[in-house]
Copies of this chain bind each other. A is one copy, B any other.
């Protein structure tokens, strides 16, 4: 038999079961929280038509796409969950209720260069609320509240939402007669990475020293939220600016009302998020003390979800957690240990096959009582059996020998301290607790 070396393709995350359990636990926490806010599940095919995926024009994504090798070359794997959502909402428009609150947790595919912490296949966990023609700005405050709950349940006390508004920024640039808005946004977006000085230098080149000073004055407002808001209030600029400021204030006010702590919100005028897609609220989210891993959840509001697929105006707001990358970062930081718990509490070991039936009766009973119980039915020496118990890391082993069977007993061995006791079969559950 010719042996093929067993290996995955490069650049994918594949976990051993003990880590997969932790991954699933985090994923379930995210999903349960999405559901608790009445977001509806959808599940779209991983393969979409190319004219859907590239309706916006290909660009960078087209280079990273996993195309399906068919004679017609007309389908590929999705690279995000937003395009499929847009297609879904447009396709099923008449059968959905708006505002449409949906979540999707699924794998997406990008031909990333092989690089640590970058994956060709990764989970995205997306929530979005889509309106039909209009969508209240208050939804922009609900979305981060859902994420806030998730990280609280994952035992992160400190999380900070950096929020901003693109209308406000655009209005501000207009007030300075800046035409290179996109370029300026792109430069500001890099500020956290390249620092103030380098940002100033780049902005000087684009808009001149005077205007760049004004921009930096605006985006460096870190006086606290209330002070920032009154500073912005005092600027009193054009309509676009005022509209953006009003939205920003409303989002901030409602975030507090939904139950997000003020110290978890930072009005941060330097957050810009991408370039053409977002039109109003934008967010980035940082875990306090772990800011270096970057934003763990980003998103914002967009004018029109499905302009390539429908004439319907479908404004929306959404946030997305890149779970695979986040899990990698948790691994690097040693944070996943705190989510570990015993998969199997107790293992039942019959000493030989003739005791299997007695062991199965006990296993069935304990399982019905809710214990995470397993039974070892393989042949072999006692040592081999105990070895298995040791490896799967159970707290207690229930040993069944001929003598125990005759006396209607079991022996329970505590694997932590090595102690062993004989217990009546009707009292096992008391000893397992």
Contact = CB atoms under 8 A, between A and B. Distances in A.
B20 A43 contact: yes
Given A16-B95, A68-B67, A121-B45, A87 B6 contact: yes
Contacts of A338: none
A85 to B, nearest CB: 11
Q: How many copies does the complex hold?
A: 2
Given A46-B107, A46-B121, A66-B47, A17 B308 contact: no
12 contacts: A3-B309, A4-B309, A6-B52, A8-B45, A8-B49, A9-B47, A17-B96, A38-B344, A45-B120, A45-B121, A47-B109, A97-B388
Contacts of A164: none
B66 A374 contact: no
A12 interface: yes
Interface string A360-373: 10001001000011
Interface stretch (A135-143, A198-206, A398-406, A421-429): A135-143
Interface in A312-362: 343-344, 356-357, 360
A219 interface: no
A4 to B, nearest CB: 5
A51 interface: yes
A217 to B, nearest CB: 34
Interface of A: 1-9, 12, 14-17, 20-21, 23-24, 36-38, 40-49, 51-52, 55, 66-70, 73, 75, 77, 86-88, 90-92, 95-97, 99, 102, 107, 109, 111, 120-121, 131, 134-136, 138-139, 142, 254, 257-259, 306-311, 343-344, 356-357, 360, 364, 367, 372-374, 377-379, 388, 391-392
Contacts of A131: 378
Contacts of A97: 388, 391-392
A257 B357 contact: yes
